[in-house]
Structure 1
Amino acid sequence: MSDPANVTYVYKLVPANTPPSSPLPEALPVSALDQSSGFVHLSSAAQVPNTLKFFFTDEPRVYVLRIAYARVADKIRWEDPKAEVCGPRGGEGMFPHLYNGFKLGKEEVDSVAVWERKEGESWEEVIKRAEDWLVY
């Protein structure tokens, strides 16, 4: 799905009930999922729509953290969602997982966007409004 050679940014989606503080700290709080997995779950731009669809279905708002891939590339492993398959390049079902001791904060995050759905609106419609910000 994503070839790391062509990736400019990776993204961390954060639910509305755990908004990142402003200004961003050195390290953001670690989600229960990331803690239990042992890494920070990220998505490429192409993976963001399905990440929203499958994991943020009932969320009216998400915070999307844009991370310059070059800043974290040496700490990324492209793996399946459970980190059971590791490969040298991102492919179908391969996600960027950040292994850096859970340090995701002001040094890594390039920008934060708040995406909010209006009543009856799909995440796909929200993404269309964010096309200039979501870099593929």
Structure 2
Amino acid sequence: MTDSIPLYLYKLIPSTSPVLEPIPERLPVSDIDHQSGFIHLSTAFQVPNTLKFFFKDEPIVYVLRIRYERVEQDIRWEDPEGKVCGPRPNEGLFPHLYNGLNLGRQEVESMAVWRNDNGWDNALNRARPWLIY
């Protein structure tokens, strides 16, 4: 973990909500984001456990990379809700985007499509040059 400001934040989206290119002006809002009233994001350090906790059975995940400076004014660093996910030690606060649930081409810098190959380790290893803090 680091206390420095990240260069990028990441939004993980399940295969049941495929993201097509070009990325639309506004992406559909997930149920958890709608219920929370904000968009759940992760730092590069948090992505592995977010994958393993929330997306362990997903065959494919769309990973959106968002330049932090584009959304910084609408980010709140908060603890994850205990009822949403159990304790996740050493992950610190999570970036939550409070901008009226708007996420689309204006915010997303690039996208990757990762495949679950009996776990996420292979996808994470291949993503190292792209998945940066």
Length-normalised TM-score, structure 1: 0.87
Q: 2:116, 2:123 within 8 Å by CA — same for their partners in 1?
A: yes
Q: What is the RMSD of the two structures over their aligned residues, measured on CA atoms?
A: 1.6
Asked whether 1:43 is paired with 2:31, we answer no
Q: Secondary structure at the match of 1:44?
A: coil
Match of 2:115 in 1: 116
User: Structure 1: 5+ residue runs without aligned partners?
Assistant: 84-90
Q: 1:41, 1:96 within 8 Å by CA — same for their partners in 2?
A: yes
Identity of aligned residues (%): 59
Runs of 4+ in 1 over 3 A off after TM superposition: none
- As a proportion of its length, which structure holds more helix? 1
Match of 2:102 in 1: 103
Q: Secondary structure at the match of 1:46?
A: coil
Match of 1:13 in 2: 12
Take 1:20 and 1:53, find their aligned partners in 2: how far apart are those partners? 20
Structure 1 position 81, deviation (Å) = 1.2
Take 2:5 and 2:15, find their aligned partners in 1: how far apart are those partners? 30
Take 1:46 and 1:124, find their aligned partners in 2: how far apart are those partners? 14
Structure 1 position 11, deviation (Å) = 0.2
Match of 1:24 in 2: 23
User: Structure 2: 5+ residue runs without aligned partners?
Assistant: 83-89
Number of equivalences: 126
